[in-house]
Structure formats: structure tokens, C-alpha cells
């Protein structure tokens, strides 16, 4: 125990929903309440059932590849003010991101409830791929909703899902991105709830999803906290993670919530810059409201219409955020900052060149945050970064950004910032 | 200026029940084809036999709506409709004497200010609000505001609702309870779920004074069938579709009036099942 004098009641890590302060709840059609109640009841039973937790732990050991390692990145750290930078390598998980942690748990729960079909939304495609993977493993029918715009940006992930036997339905309504994919998945769920479980991909949505998905992602921080203590001999000064809906960030933050000395920094997608209005920095620039079943911060106009978000990263291109993040921001336990597309891509490139690791563009926002933090905190600081996903899916986007494709007009290859060639 | 007359949905439903028939409740989103056009269409519907108007507020993320209504509200938003436009529209339609309920997802109301919205709706002569994504459990602020401004609050029940939830929803509702005929979103269906009649009976048994049925009703024959056992028949996409497809404003009004006449005849033909 690090805080023997701290009672459970003082802990920030015990909220089970539906509410996190003023945030959370279940703002959904009545037709879904029975399914949400069922899911909540079954999950409460499952999470204390050794049959369930043991099977999930076995799958993580033998299928996901857990525990994921940590990697210290000294050459990258030169670009972060010389601070010690340690990556939690969720990119090495089976299917390439942290999403598998959540999906295996929810797929097991689906089997336990006795449903035969799963649906999911996906933005970058990582959650869709993870869900399709679990559906193949557990012999479940699987339908993935993906904004038409995202199916173009992430065509390879669409093919991966189809290879795994899932049906991918491009969503052509609204902004044709993640938020519209969620709308369409909710419509499917209302219609097919008797046979279907909605495997929600992040810590947003109606209760019990924010608490359940968080619990399934907590393993990231639990492992990383022990690993950093083992490597460094003390806790990190800061933990950085990207925040779209916020599942990888909650997953790594949670183990540190009661460690008051550890700063928790969520990096939101700043797109073209928050001042341009073309971004996805929900907590930085949004206001509280209700979207997709929960009260939380969201990007909205003065009429409460959702504002389209913008980010080079499909996985962060979401105008909402999980309610627990809104709460952590409101009590000032976690800080949220925007990282622009350009800053994220600079960090992406530095990581590729200095460490031989191609990060997901989502995770590159966290890396850019670490570069800022390292410069602020100086060389004595230890910064833990959640490298939530690998960048294989982003190779084309990155190659285009850096002008590395043969059909690009000029090979406009940017140098690594601050490094002589 | 005198306050507009306030016609409440419950009183109208009771009066129609005394006449021996169910109410016909018609939905349109405000702002399609434009604000004035939606008011004209609603007035045409009332003149052709619709008893209560359900006026939708266009919202960017309508998760309970099928493709027809999604399309219309997307166009309304693209046309620049604002939430505040609903009040003038309510006033215009309420002048016909028909009760006007607003149908809105919660966020536009939350953003406007729940109490402020209730106050402005009451001042415009509106009857109340139907809240498709707000369950009574989350509706504390709206329940207080609707009490303060004496507005109907229409919550939904679904075939999946447990007996406990039917009871709590019936107790929280005022005006009527909206029973979703099937599990699904708005849109025309060739046949209605066989659970609608049971759901109406169960909701009444759970304490609801009045129960109206919506989702999927589009023809006079279906209206007749539902009007036999429900206090009201709610129709949306079957009005919105012809309005979207109409070649011009006049054709749109003719089309919705024709749909209203067909549905109205169905409601009036129905042989009421004794309660």
C-alpha cells in the first residue's frame, strides 16, 4: 500500500457509475434500458466470478500477449528535454492496440449472456478489427459500423475486418465518421437487442460502458505502474495518453489516480489548431451536454447540435469524450491539452527515426505531449507514455503527409525537428 | 397581447374517447421544407383530420429515427433551422386549436436551458414535450420544469420495458405514455409487431391513463387496427416521406393532407375494444 492512511472513501478510483460527479448517466431510448440493465447485472456478477476473470487473464496471457512490455526510449527522449521517457507498449498487443483488452472482456460477457451477435462502431478501425477478431475467436456473428469517410481513410482495416469474417457497413449519414457510426450501431441495437450485444469501444456511452470499459482497460496502468517502479525505483512524474473517447487514457491513468504526485495528462486532437475550429479537442474547447447516452463534454453549437470534429487521426476524430474524463478534468485531477496534427506528425516521425517504432497517429499525440512535458519538467523527470497502438494502419496517411509516395508532386521530406541530418 | 390558448393532449384524448375514437397524432420536423412550410404542412394535417401535432426539433444525432426522418432533419439543419424557431411554429399551429407537443432529443433542450425552454414553450401555447432519449430516471430537471410551467411530459415505453419500468414511466408521464410498437427506430413498416396491443394493456395495467402507439404506423388500415385498442395513433415517417418527395410546396401540402385523410378515416373506422 502506498497510502496506508488513505481510506477507500478518499480514493478517486472507486466510482462505478452511472455518475462521475455531474457526468455520465443513461440518456438513451427506453427500449435499450433492459439491455443495459442486463449488461450491468451480468457484468457485476462476472467481474467477481473467478471463472470469468480467470478466463480473461488466460486469454490475455496466451492470446493478447500480456503483460505488454515497457520500453525506455533515450534517443526519443533527447527531443523531450532529456527527461526519461518510458513507453507502455500496447502497440505490441495482438491486433495492434489496447482495444483488444476491452473486446475480449465484452465478448466473453456476450457469451455469458447467451447472445450470438455482436455489433460495434469503429473510427480508425482498431476497435472494429479487435471486435472482429474476438467474434472470430468466440464464433459470434459480427457487424461493424464505420463512417464512410473512415472506410476510405482506413481501407486496409476494412479489409482486415472482412478477412476476419465481419460484415462492415459504411455509414453514409451525418458527417460519415465515428459519431455517425455510433448512431447507426445504436439504431441496430434498438432493433436487434434480443440477439445482439453492443461491444462499445470506449469509455463513453451510457452506463455501464464507461465503468466497464475502464475496468477492462485498467490492466494497462496496473502493469505499467509496477513496471515503472521496478525499472526506475519510483513513480513517474507524469503519465501521458491520447484522448478521443478516452479508453487507453483511463486505462493507464486509473492505477495512478490516488498517487497525488503523478500528473495525468490527456492529449486531445487539436487538428488544424483549436483556434481554427477544426479539431477534436472536446474537453479543451467543448461544453457539457448529452451525446450518445452520457452527459459529458462535447463539441456543440449554441443550439446543442453536435459540431463535426476534425483530426488527422481517425481514432481521435470524435466530438465527445468519456464522462470520467470530464469529471477528472472538473476536479483538476487530470489535465487535458490539445496537440495539432502537425505536432503529432512531428512526434510520429521522431519516434520512427530515433527508436525504430512506428506509432499509431493517435498515440503520436501522446508522444507529442511527452515532448512538451519533458521540456517543461526537465531532465530529472520520468514520463510514462501510453503507446496505445502501432502505426501500420497509418503508413499511407503518414507517407502522404511527409510526401513519400511516388505520386506525390515533390519529395517534401521534413527533417526531424531539432536534429541535424 | 393575450396568452395563446393552451390545448393539452390529455384533455383532447379524453374528449375523443368520449366520442368513441382514438386520436390521430401526426409528426413533422420543424424547418422542413422551411419553417413556414412545416407550419403550413402541420396546419394542413390538422384540417385533414389530425388531432394532435408532434413537432420535431431537428437534431444532428437522431438515434431513434430511421432514414426518412433522418433525411428530413438533415435538410432542415442544412437549411439553417434553429431551436428557437420551434416556438413561433408552435404558436402558429396551436392557433388551429390542436394541441402541439414538441418532440426533441434532450441535448438541444439542455443547451437552451431546460426551464427556459419549458417557459418559452408554455408561452407559445405548446402542450408539452415528447423525449425519445430521456428516461424518467434522468429527467429530474425536466420534471421540475414541466411541473413549474404545467406542461405534458410524454415518456416512452418499449416492448422490452419491465413491469417495474412501465409503472415508474406511467407515474412520471403526463398527457399520455408513448408506446413504441416494436423494437426499432421510426419508419414505415408493412406489419406492426404483435406486441403493441399487449404493451398498451400492460402499460394501462401499470397505471397509465392514456397510451398512444407509435413507430411504423403508415396506412389507414394500420391506424384502424391500432385505434381499436390505443388512445392514440402516432404517425411520423408516412407524413414526412411524401413531404420530402413532393415536387413543390403546394404538392407537399396536398400529399400530407391526403395521408392525413386516409389515416383519419382509419382511426374513425376502428371498432374500439372495450377497456
Shared-domain flag, residues A92 and A113: no
Shared-domain flag, residues A91 and A133: no
Based on the structure, what is the number of domains in chain B?
Answer: 1
Instruction: For this complex, say whether ipTM is above 0.90.
Output: yes
Shared-domain flag, residues A203 and A181: yes
Residue B163 included in any domain = no
Strands B211-214 and B100-103: unpaired
* Residue-level pLDDT at A4: 44
CA distance B153 to chain A (A): 15
Residue B72 included in any domain = yes
Shared-domain flag, residues A264 and A393: yes
Residue A9 included in any domain = no
CB contact under 8 A, B133 and A28: yes
Shared-domain flag, residues A43 and A183: yes
Global pTM reads 0.94
* Residue-level pLDDT at A8: 53
Is pLDDT of B8 > 50? yes
The arithmetic mean of pLDDT across residues B125-143, rounded, is 98
Is pLDDT of B131 > 90? yes
Residue B193 included in any domain = no
Kindly report, residue by residue over B32-53, the tens digit of the pLDDT. 999 999 999 999 999 999 999 9
Shared-domain flag, residues A77 and A129: no
Question: Contact, B177 vs B157, CB < 8 A?
Answer: yes
Q: Which domain holds residue B238?
A: 8-152+213-269
Give the CATH number of the domain where residue B99 resides: 3.20.20.70
**Number of CB pairs, chain A paired with chain B, less than 8 A apart:** 113
Distances (CA, A) of B46 to A8, A153, B21: 61, 48, 16
Give the CATH number of the domain where residue A367 resides: 3.40.50.1100
pLDDT, greater one: A177 or B170: B170
Residue A45 included in any domain = yes
Identified catalytic residue from B51, B54, B188, B231: B54
Residue A314 included in any domain = yes
CA distance B11 to chain A (A): 25
Shared-domain flag, residues A113 and A31: yes
Task: With residue A338 as reference, give the H or E element that holds it.
Answer: strand A334-340
Instruction: Determine whether A14 is exposed, middle or buried from the number of CB atoms within 10 Å of its CB (0-12, 13-18, 19+).
Output: exposed
**How many C-alpha atoms does B171 have within 13 Å on its Cβ side?**
8
Question: Contact, A201 vs A102, CB < 8 A?
Answer: yes
Residue A392 included in any domain = yes
Residue A228 included in any domain = yes
Based on the structure, what is the number of domains in chain A?
Answer: 2
* Residue-level pLDDT at B272: 86
Residue A331 included in any domain = yes
Kindly report, residue by residue over B177-230, the tens digit of the pLDDT. 999 988 888 887 777 767 899 999 999 999 999 999 998 899 999 999 999 999
**Chain B residues close to A30, C-beta within 8 Å:** 135, 155-158, 160-161, 165, 169, 180
CB contact under 8 A, B155 and A30: yes
Which of A30, A291, A300 comes nearest B158 by C-beta? A30
Q: What gap in Å lies between CA A238 and CA A242, rounded to an integer?
A: 13
Kindly report, residue by residue over B75-97, the tens digit of the pLDDT. 999 999 999 999 999 999 999 99
* Residue-level pLDDT at B149: 97
Distances (CA, A) of A396 to A98, A153, A175: 21, 9, 22
Q: Which domain holds residue A42?
A: 19-63+98-209
* Residue-level pLDDT at A9: 58
Residue A417 included in any domain = no
The answer, for A179 touching chain B at a CB cutoff of 8 Å, is: yes
Nearest to A313 by CA among A277, A350, A343: A343
* Residue-level pLDDT at A405: 85
Is pLDDT of B1 > 60? no
Shared-domain flag, residues A133 and A234: no
Last residue in a domain, options A174, A209, A244: A209
Is pLDDT of B31 > 60? yes
The answer, for A35 touching chain B at a CB cutoff of 8 Å, is: yes
Residue B23 included in any domain = yes
The parts of chain A modelled with pLDDT lower than 70 are: 1-9, 408-421
Residue A144 included in any domain = yes
Amino acid at each position: 500500500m502506498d497510502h496506508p492512511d488513505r481510506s477507500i472513501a478518499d480514493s478517486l478510483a472507486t466510482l462505478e457509475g452511472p455518475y462521475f460527479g455531474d457526468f455520465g448517466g443513461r440518456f438513451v431510448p427506453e427500449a435499450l434500458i433492459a439491455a443495459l440493465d442486463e449488461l450491468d447485472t451480468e457484468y457485476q456478477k462476472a467481474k467477481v466470478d473467478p471463472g470469468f476473470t480467470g478466463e480473461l487473464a488466460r486469454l490475455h496471457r496466451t492470446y493478447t500477449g500480456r503483460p505488454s512490455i515497457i520500453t525506455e526510449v533515450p534517443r526519443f527522449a533527447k527531443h523531450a528535454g532529456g527527461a526519461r521517457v518510458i513507453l507502455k507498449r500496447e502497440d505490441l498487443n495482438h491486433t495492434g492496440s489496447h482495444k483488444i483488452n476491452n473486446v475480449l472482456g465484452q465478448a466473453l460477457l456476450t457469451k455469458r449472456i447467451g447472445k450470438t451477435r455482436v455489433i460495434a462502431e469503429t473510427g480508425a478501425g482498431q476497435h472494429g478489427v479487435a471486435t472482429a477478431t474476438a467474434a472470430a475467436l468466440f464464433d459470434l456473428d459480427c457487424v461493424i459500423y464505420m463512417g464512410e469517410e473512415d472506410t476510405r481513410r482506413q481501407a486496409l482495416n476494412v479489409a482486415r475486418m472482412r478477412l476476419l469474417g465481419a460484415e462492415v457497413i459504411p455509414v453514409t449519414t451525418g458527417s460519415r465518421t465515428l459519431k455517425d457510426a455510433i448512431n447507426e450501431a445504436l439504431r441496430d441495437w434498438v432493433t436487434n437487442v434480443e440477439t445482439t450485444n453492443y461491444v462499445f469501444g470506449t469509455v463513453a456511452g451510457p452506463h455501464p460502458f464507461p465503468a466497464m470499459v475502464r475496468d477492462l482497460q485498467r490492466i494497462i496502468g496496473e502493469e505499467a505502474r509496477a513496471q515503472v517502479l521496478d525499472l526506475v525505483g519510483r513513480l513517474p512524474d507524469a503519465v501521458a495518453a491520447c484522448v478521443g473517447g478516452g479508453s487507453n487514457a483511463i486505462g493507464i491513468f486509473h492505477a495512478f489516480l490516488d498517487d497525488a504526485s503523478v500528473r495525468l495528462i490527456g492529449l486531445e486532437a487539436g487538428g488544424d489548431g483549436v483556434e481554427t475550429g477544426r479539431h477534436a479537442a472536446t474537453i479543451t474547447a467543448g461544453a457539457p451536454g448529452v451525446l450518445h447516452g452520457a452527459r459529458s463534454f462535447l463539441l456543440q453549437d449554441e443550439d446543442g447540435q453536435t459540431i463535426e470534429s476534425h483530426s488527422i487521426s481517425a481514432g481521435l476524430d470524435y466530438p465527445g469524450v468519456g464522462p470520467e474524463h470530464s469529471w477528472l478534468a472538473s476536479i483538476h485531477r487530470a489535465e487535458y491539452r490539445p496537440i495539432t496534427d502537425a505536432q503529432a506528425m512531428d512526434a510520429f516521425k521522431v519516434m520512427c527515426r530515433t527508436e525504430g517504432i512506428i506509432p499509431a497517429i493517435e498515440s503520436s499525440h501522446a508522444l507529442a505531449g511527452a515532448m512538451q512535458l519533458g521540456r517543461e519538467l526537465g531532465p530529472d523527470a520520468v514520463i510514462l507514455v501510453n503507446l496505445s497502438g502501432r502505426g501500420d494502419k497509418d503508413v499511407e496517411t503518414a507517407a502522404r503527409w511527409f510526401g513519400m509516395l511516388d505520386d506525390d508532386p515533390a519529395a517534401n521530406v521534413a527533417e526531424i525537428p531539432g536534429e541535424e541530418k | 397581447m393575450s396568452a395563446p390558448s393552451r390545448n393539452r393532449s390529455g384533455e383532447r384524448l379524453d374528449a375523443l374517447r368520449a366520442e368513441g375514437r382514438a386520436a390521430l397524432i401526426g409528426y413533422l420536423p420543424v424547418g422542413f421544407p422551411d419553417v413556414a412550410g412545416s407550419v403550413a404542412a402541420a396546419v394542413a394535417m390538422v384540417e385533414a383530420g389530425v388531432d394532435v401535432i408532434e413537432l420535431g426539433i431537428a437534431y444532428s444525432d437522431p438515434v431513434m429515427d430511421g432514414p426518412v426522418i433522418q433525411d428530413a432533419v438533415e435538410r432542415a439543419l442544412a437549411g439553417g433551422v434553429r431551436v428557437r424557431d420551434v416556438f413561433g411554429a408552435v404558436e402558429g399551429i396551436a392557433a388551429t386549436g390542436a394541441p402541439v407537443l414538441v418532440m426533441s432529443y434532450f441535448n438541444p433542450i439542455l443547451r437552451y436551458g431546460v426551464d427556459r425552454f419549458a417557459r418559452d414553450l408554455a408561452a407559445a401555447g405548446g402542450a408539452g414535450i415528447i423525449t425519445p432519449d430521456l428516461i424518467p430516471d434522468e429527467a429530474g430537471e425536466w420534471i421540475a420544469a414541466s411541473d413549474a410551467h404545467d406542461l405534458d411530459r410524454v415518456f416512452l415505453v418499449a416492448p422490452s420495458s419491465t413491469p417495474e419500468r412501465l409503472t415508474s414511466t406511467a407515474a412520471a408521464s403526463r398527457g399520455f405514455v408513448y408506446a413504441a410498437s416494436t423494437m426499432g427506430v421510426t419508419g414505415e413498416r408493412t406489419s406492426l409487431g404483435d406486441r403493441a396491443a399487449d404493451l398498451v394493456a400492460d402499460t394501462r395495467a401499470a397505471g397509465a391513463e392514456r397510451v398512444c402507439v407509435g413507430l411504423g404506423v403508415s396506412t389507414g388500415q394500420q391506424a384502424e387496427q391500432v385505434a381499436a385498442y390505443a388512445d392514440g395513433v402516432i404517425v411520423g415517417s408516412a407524413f414526412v416521406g411524401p413531404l420530402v418527395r413532393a415536387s413543390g410546396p403546394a404538392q407537399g401540402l396536398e400529399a400530407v393532407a391526403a395521408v392525413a385523410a386516409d389515416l383519419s378515416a382509419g382511426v374513425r373506422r376502428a371498432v374500439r375494444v372495450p377497456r
